[in-house]
Amino acid sequence: MAARWSHNRGFTLIELLTAVAIMALLAVLSWRAIDGMGRTQTVTQSRSEALQRLQAGLLQWTLDLDAITDTREVNAIDFNGQALRLTRRDMAASLVDNPGLRVVAWARRNGPDGSQWMRWQSGPIRQRDELARAWQRAADWARGVADPAPANAAGDSAVALLPVSDWQLLFHRGETWVNPQSSVGALRPGDELGGNARLPNGVRLTLGLPEGGPITGQITRDWVRPTLEAGQ
């Protein structure tokens, strides 16, 4: 009887090298896919956060303008080329409680994090001399002369909202958009807010969002005075 020999054939070196190469290629492709997903998620989250900050800033902008109050001591709204300053009702004001007024300023300021669109507000104001000082502090802050300290005795505060490369403001007076510093239809201290008020009919804000950020391009927001009547 002839002997039977069993022979188990193994992998050749070429086959092993091919298998290793295929596994390495699959590992690289998998890593690239995972890395791409991670990058996409990071970019998406960054854009989402930037969009939320932008929306919050524009909402606060609108609320400030809606709450403008004329004190007859200073211009209810004023742009000096650096900051938009206004006097507004306190956000906590109600029919039974009135904490006072506040001076609010909006400006583009340069800092450690670059050019930022920022909002400043004073503490509650109840007296005439407090209003004059807060109005001046708002202008000083916009020029970078002073920043509100954490424990500011006057209760001033400021917050950076989002990076901007530039910003522009226009007031709508009469039948056209004009430079806010134009004397055309300018509000004067003591002018009434009803009837023939010289508050602008609207305010147009244009923000330039810097290249390379989560959101780029230009954003334009128009505000219309709530008390605007037909024909004004």
Residue 135 has pLDDT above 90, yes or no: yes
pLDDT of residue 113: 80
pLDDT of residue 122: 94
For the chain, report the end-to-end CA distance as a whole number of angstroms. 119
Residue 80 has pLDDT above 60, yes or no: yes
The dihedral through the CA atoms of 102, 108, 109, 114 has a sign that is positive
Residues 6+ apart with CB under 8 A from 79: 85, 169, 171, 180, 181
- Give the percent of the chain with pLDDT over 70: 76
Q: How many CB atoms lie within 10 A of CB 120?
A: 24
Domain boundaries, the chain: 43-224
> What is the reported pTM?
0.74
Q: How many CB atoms lie within 10 A of CB 137?
A: 20
As a whole number, the mean pLDDT across the chain is 81
pLDDT tens for each residue of 64-77: 999 999 888 899 99
